[in-house]
Structure 1
Amino acid sequence: MKKKFIPYGKQWIDEEDIQAVVDVLRSDYLTTGHKVEEFEEKFAEYVGAKYAVTISNGTAALHAACYAAGIGDGDEVITAPITFAASANCVLYCGGKPVFADIDPKTYNIDSEEIRKHITSKTKAIIPVHFTGQPCDMKEIHKIAEEYNLTVIEDAAHALGAQYQGKNIGSISDMTTFSFHPVKHITTGEGGMITTSQKELYEKLLLFRSHGITRNKELLHNKEEGPWYYEQLDLGYNYRMTDIQCALGISQLRKLDKFVARRREIAARYNEAFKNLEGVTVPYQKEDTNSSWHLYVIKLELEKLKVGRKEIFNLLKEKNIGVNVHYIPVYYLPYYKSLGYQKGICYNAENLYESMITIPLFPRMRSEDVENVITTICDVVNNNLI
């Protein structure tokens, strides 16, 4: 009998989460009410930032951060190629140009030395992506940013609950963006967050997510009007989250530590099971980082296998293991090709893409599911060794 399908990622919603949403549905506020402020305050406290700004999704978070950083026409922003397209699209939204720096072949994160090679007089910011949940080398990235007066926007869509040198991701750089998509560490359905400890950036982010409109008397040009008065100070967007979503986020945030702990347990079991499996390389973890393990990516040693990545991928899918590939290098995508980007610019990223497979990892996985994944992968790989 065929075993049940195990997806690569899945949310964990319990009765407490459902009740939190129901309570809001029975309340006076459905959109931007008290739950938004509460979620922002609790999230900022959790990561250790002064401010947090809820926003409609992780892509909007990156867009808003680029706006707040002043990215504009002709500005260059350095980011990683092994990421979802949003990490680069956000630069294009603001009129800037994404510049792709190659990855470290061990951590799969952006290589700080490669960042340095790509800096020009037009470079304005760096967007390091904490791929799979392992933090980038932020000490070196900040050193470069200080040297060239660059803004650092961490894309931490994978890294909620992760630590770098003892500090929570979200408390370190100018701005940090998060995603609450259902496969992430906590979910609000769709949704995102931006954290910062700089008041000026915080105020820009608040403006941008709400049409560029404010009622904040400190910012108004005309301070003599009544309480109904507001002003549009810039061209913003409607990127707000609802109280419904934030109630779910608050409830999920209470369980974040438990979720991350379970992810780390599963990753440790995978590491132990696969460390001596010929044909597979397990993820490398730097000593000064503590990954939150959004993804677990194995790298196939294709020179030891008689079939390619596609064949291994399909065999695992046929056995109901919900594998995926994260990610196609952004500049491979047709739209980026139309902008003039070409293959060959990031050797390590391209090499990784050809051999990587994401395997199931989510907190609600049962131990028997984990063992099923391990047994199936070992069988498929061992049966296809040269």
Structure 2
Amino acid sequence: MVELGFITVEEEAANMSEKLAILGGKPAIEIKEPERWRRPVEEEKKLVCQLLDEGFVSGSGTGLPKEFEEDIREYVGCNFCLTVDHGSTALASAYYAVGVGPGDEVITPTAGYIGSYCGALHLGARPVFCDIDPKTLLVDPEDVERKITKRTRAINIIHFHGNVCDMDAFLHIRDKYGIPIVEDAAHALGAEWDGKKIGTIGDIACFSLQGSNPIGKPVAGGEGGFVTTNVRELYERQLIYCHLHRAGVTDELTNPAYKGLDSEVLGLKWRAHPLALALAKVSLNTLEYRIKRSNENREKIFEALREIPGLEPEGSHPKVRRVNLYGGLRIIYHPEALEGLPVERFVEALKAEGVPVKSLGFPYLEHLRKIFREGFDLWGRDRGPLGGEFCGLPPFKPYKEGDFPVAEDVHRRVINIPSYINPAEGFLDQLIGAFRKVVENYKSLLSIVR
């Protein structure tokens, strides 16, 4: 046995493995680029080339675009599906469908996304922000109810990272006040509440097809989106709003108020591109496999992290089958469990061990955007819902730090890491081991001078 001074080579190796990488030790994670799942590119090429050969590169209501809508309708279990060009335009058309207009208010979470509510803003409605649940990190039904006024026209809930909001609570609010629920389900295709798929439960649900798998939306086609509903009137309002020249569009309209409209309906053309839908159609074929695998891997990670002091994986309602194919996993850090170790230092140590931390906190706290801290002249000449009195709305009152204590507090402590479909063998154990190593050796980080 070779000796190094008073310690053996084996002892030196053991010490290095326990020593934090940020302090010169060996990183816990050795596997780089761990995701091994690959999308079926050849199938994508075949379907895209078929459309190119046919010359079908524009249109809706027929051919592959109609087939995709039927595929989604069957998969989700809804009565109607309409494809559009983006997830944000899906939401914009949904706000029009439920009757949002100038002088209305739309409630939306501050730990949210501008694309979730901007369609309402451009219709002349004022976003009204609300706080989140500190465990699920999703919109808080109790705070939503506190924000309801006589001007509230819609409630926007976001199934962030495929984690489903408390649908029982929101359906109760809808029925109690007669206010429609507009679901942003961009991350949540395939997610379920009490055994029913999102897209069949509320009034209207909006999905995105952005990106490419494995890191794009659950079903991805580069760019695109779609809306599902069980209410024919909502479907028809979307048709007239944004599906100019859709094949057979006037034949689908049953509301007498829409009779006499021609194929250009109200003039907007937010149709999805057929080539994007070809990619999405292939993506849909692998969705259930990817959900199953990523959910299994998430539970392995979360089960282990729950046993480590200072770490709290985001919670889910017992009725939820969530989806973790976009946005990754969120872990709430509790510095008090590690003698006040700052989250920034904790994350630095994780990264040094090889943990692929994507970001810290939420992408935005919406109420702290410039336009909501200062107001904004949306249409010029002091017009719009973020300025003075407007269509019955009182003058806009700017938001400030401290308005949403739950979101603002947890925002500083949310650690985001990727989710995985088919990780390399041994990677999840290394990932969990890296978190455990940093926590077990946190005292050595307390003395680091910054």
What is the TM-score with the length of structure 2 in the denominator?
0.77
- Pairwise CA distance, 1:361: 0.4
Within a 5 Å distance, the mapping from 1:19-98 to structure 2 comes to: 19-32=46-59, 34-98=63-127
- Corresponding residue to 1:334 among 370, 375, 391: 370
Within a 5 Å distance, the mapping from 1:154-169 to structure 2 comes to: 154-169=183-198
Note if 1:185 corresponds to 2:221: no
CA distance in 1 between counterparts of 2:69 and 2:171 reads 26
Closer, same or farther in 2 for the Cα pair 1:367/1:7, shift >3 Å?
Answer: closer
Note if 1:266 corresponds to 2:313: no
- Pairwise CA distance, 1:320: 6.1
Note if 1:323 corresponds to 2:352: no
* Post-superposition CA distance 1:321-368 (Å, at most 9, x none): 142243321112223322222222222111111100111103243343
Preserved CA contact (<8 Å) 2:239 2:249: no
Q: What secondary structure, in the 3-state scheme, does the structure 1 residue paired with 2:250 have?
A: coil
CA distance in 2 between counterparts of 1:355 and 1:255 reads 34
CA distance in 2 between counterparts of 1:70 and 1:11 reads 42
The unaligned stretches of length 5 or more in structure 1 are: 224-229
Closer, same or farther in 2 for the Cα pair 1:331/1:4, shift >3 Å?
Answer: farther
Preserved CA contact (<8 Å) 1:271 1:282: yes
Residue of structure 1 in register with 2:266 after alignment: 234
CA distance in 1 between counterparts of 2:138 and 2:367 reads 16
The unaligned stretches of length 5 or more in structure 2 are: 1-25, 376-397
Residue of structure 2 in register with 1:18 after alignment: 45
Q: What secondary structure, in the 3-state scheme, does the structure 2 residue paired with 1:171 have?
A: coil
Give the structure with higher Rg (CA).
Answer: 2
Within a 5 Å distance, the mapping from 1:148-159 to structure 2 comes to: 148-159=177-188
Preserved CA contact (<8 Å) 1:6 1:322: no
Q: What percentage of residue pairs aligned between the two structures are identical?
A: 30
Aligned-partner residue type, residue 15 of structure 1:
E
Residue of structure 1 in register with 2:409 after alignment: 351
Preserved CA contact (<8 Å) 1:316 1:323: no
Aligned-partner residue type, residue 368 of structure 1:
G
Preserved CA contact (<8 Å) 1:7 1:323: no
* Post-superposition CA distance 1:42-101 (Å, at most 9, x none): 101111111111111111111111111121111111111222221232221211111112
Aligned-partner residue type, residue 304 of structure 2:
A
Note if 1:383 corresponds to 2:430: no
CA distance in 1 between counterparts of 2:91 and 2:38 reads 23
Residue of structure 2 in register with 1:363 after alignment: 421
Preserved CA contact (<8 Å) 1:8 1:324: no
CA distance in 2 between counterparts of 1:358 and 1:185 reads 18
Moved more, 331-340 or 48-57: 331-340
- Pairwise CA distance, 1:157: 1.3
* Post-superposition CA distance 1:190-241 (Å, at most 9, x none): 1111101111111221232335988515757558xxxxxx4544353x3211
CA distance in 2 between counterparts of 1:307 and 1:10 reads 36
Closer, same or farther in 2 for the Cα pair 1:367/1:73, shift >3 Å?
Answer: farther
Residue of structure 1 in register with 2:9 after alignment: none
RMSD (Å) for aligned C-alpha atoms: 2.6
Preserved CA contact (<8 Å) 1:135 1:163: yes
Residue of structure 1 in register with 2:288 after alignment: 257
Aligned-partner residue type, residue 344 of structure 2:
K
CA distance in 2 between counterparts of 1:49 and 1:174 reads 11
- Pairwise CA distance, 1:369: 3.5
Within a 5 Å distance, the mapping from 1:104-253 to structure 2 comes to: 104-182=133-211, 183-211=216-244, 216-217=250-251, 222=260, 230-236=262-268, 238-253=269-284
Within a 5 Å distance, the mapping from 1:295-306 to structure 2 comes to: 295-305=328-338, 306=340
Residue of structure 1 in register with 2:322 after alignment: 291
